[in-house]
Structure 1
Amino acid sequence: MIEKQKNYDSKQVKQVLITGATSGIGNALFKQFSAQGDAVIACGRNQTELDKLSHLAAQTCRFDITDKQQVKDIAEQIQTLDMLILNAGNCRYIDDAKQFDGELFNDVINTNLVSVGWLLQYLLPKVKKGGQVVIVSSSATLMPFPRSEAYGASKAGLDYLANSLRLDLKKENIAVTLVHPGFIKTPLTDKNDFNMPFLLTSDEAASRIIDAVKKGKKYAHFPKRLTLLLKLFSYLPDCIWQKIVIKEQH
């Protein structure tokens, strides 16, 4: 379901669509883009939360990103976009690798990766020449972590997708920015039962993403205290970094 809220002069403001706009990073992005005068289309599954954004949104769209038909129906009601921000996702863990949970794995891969294919199929054609696509992945792809078989695999797929897509969209003059957030305080991370070093707020994460987009960066990662540390760890011998990671996750 899509609800039109405001009329904008498309020549004066950017048309920005954000998935997962009702909470966490997506919600912070929505508020900051709206505050700077952009026409933001807020997308999510929770109508109650979308209603709270309606006074600021150009449009609100309620749909399930994993439902191909719903994505198609919504896209048919959207004219053009300057920016497509693919942020919605889920995080669930494999608690017992020996008794591998295939249903959980399927759900996470479908939500975080497969759904992006449908979003790109139906929404990418709406992005103007000179526009931007922003794909929010995770710094978890910088090295493997315990219990993250599903989440990490889905985000690693997003990394490759974004980097490959950038090559093919160059001729269309559409930029692609890949984002690697570290630990961000959101309803999802509130469920974590392990140490989360250098935790940032959603507002801090959104500010960094918007800054990267304005500068036309291909890659944004933050906080650098964490991401650079993870990259350094990945060059250490396996016996060293594995010991560090396992200790931090327990």
Structure 2
Amino acid sequence: MNNQPSILITGASSGIGRALALHYASAGYQVWAGGRSIEKLQQLCELHPNILPLLCDITNFNAVKASVSQLPALDILLLNAGTCEYIDDAKHFDGALFERVITANVIAIGYCLEAWLPLVKQSGNLAITSSSASFLPLPRAEAYGASKAAATYLARTLSIDLKKDNIHVSVIHPGFVKTPLTDKNDFSMPFLTTPEKAADIIFKGINNNKNEIHFPRVFTWLLKALSLLPFFLWQKIASRMTS
């Protein structure tokens, strides 16, 4: 009988997801690495024998549903995939951009939950990667921030409703992590950390059944403190960020 623990990680072809796949594989897990690029997934799988590719576009429900037959029962389901685009001109709102971000960061999570959550074992774990951007409204983040606020709310609601099924839910709130997504940012990113450091923190947090995993702590606690300000004060501060 194979007692090797198993985990499915979405967005595993780059960034935090890739680092998580390698971290869990090194810890003895059978890792199902989800992504849309077969080339990147194959390169990842070559780095460790415990990693298997799961080629799947999570914004396509039929593709997500079809993947179920490839998967075993899971100890951990880690929904990490996501995207980031900014609204550069709110007056001329980009509805198509907004739809892309909401679909990738929110709707796709729903697809994954319907297909894969039934595979999670009793006493298993579900983790959803949100963002510290969900703590308070930020300039140009109408799409990204809204999607991550929704992801946070979803994870916290699931933590209540899945308690009876003995499935623990963690919501992950990273600060700035050096990934292909953040490489596109055209602004300063304080306390920028590496994907490997992020993966180590997430691994320990899930292992300890943390309800919330947020890092780097100095940065995320600062954002949490700012979120307590009266909104008119934060609005003045945030407005200066774009001036």
TM over 0.5: yes
Computed over aligned residues only, the root mean square deviation of the Cα atoms, in angstroms, reads 1.3
Which residue matches 2:2? 10
Is residue 2:57 matched to residue 1:77?
Answer: no
Which residue matches 1:194? 187
Which residue matches 1:175? 168
% identical aligned pairs: 49
| Corresponding letter in the other structure for 1:221 | H
> Shift of the alpha carbon at 1:80?
0.7
Question: TM-score, normalised on structure 1?
Answer: 0.93
> Shift of the alpha carbon at 1:59?
1.9
Which residue matches 2:31? 40
| Unmatched tracts of structure 1, length 5 or more | 1-8
Separation in 1, partners of 2:11, 2:2:
23
| Corresponding letter in the other structure for 1:194 | F
Residues 132, 176 of structure 1: 8 Å contact kept: yes
Separation in 2, partners of 1:150, 1:63:
24
Q: How is 1:1-250 mapped onto 2 (pairs within 5 angstroms)?
A: 10-11=2-3, 13-55=4-46, 56=48, 57-248=50-241
| Corresponding letter in the other structure for 1:129 | Q
The structure-2 alpha-carbon separation of the partners of 1:249 and 1:230, relative to structure 1 and needing over 3 Å to count, comes to: farther
The runs of at least 4 aligned residues of structure 1 exceeding 4 Å deviation read none
> Shift of the alpha carbon at 1:156?
0.6
Q: SS of the counterpart of 2:25?
A: helix
The structure-2 alpha-carbon separation of the partners of 1:249 and 1:178, relative to structure 1 and needing over 3 Å to count, comes to: farther
| Corresponding letter in the other structure for 2:210 | K
Separation in 1, partners of 2:27, 2:179:
23
Residues 112, 155 of structure 1: 8 Å contact kept: yes
The structure-2 alpha-carbon separation of the partners of 1:60 and 1:189, relative to structure 1 and needing over 3 Å to count, comes to: same
Separation in 2, partners of 1:157, 1:197:
24
Separation in 1, partners of 2:164, 2:225:
35
| Unmatched tracts of structure 2, length 5 or more | none
Q: SS of the counterpart of 1:184?
A: coil
The structure-2 alpha-carbon separation of the partners of 1:176 and 1:48, relative to structure 1 and needing over 3 Å to count, comes to: same
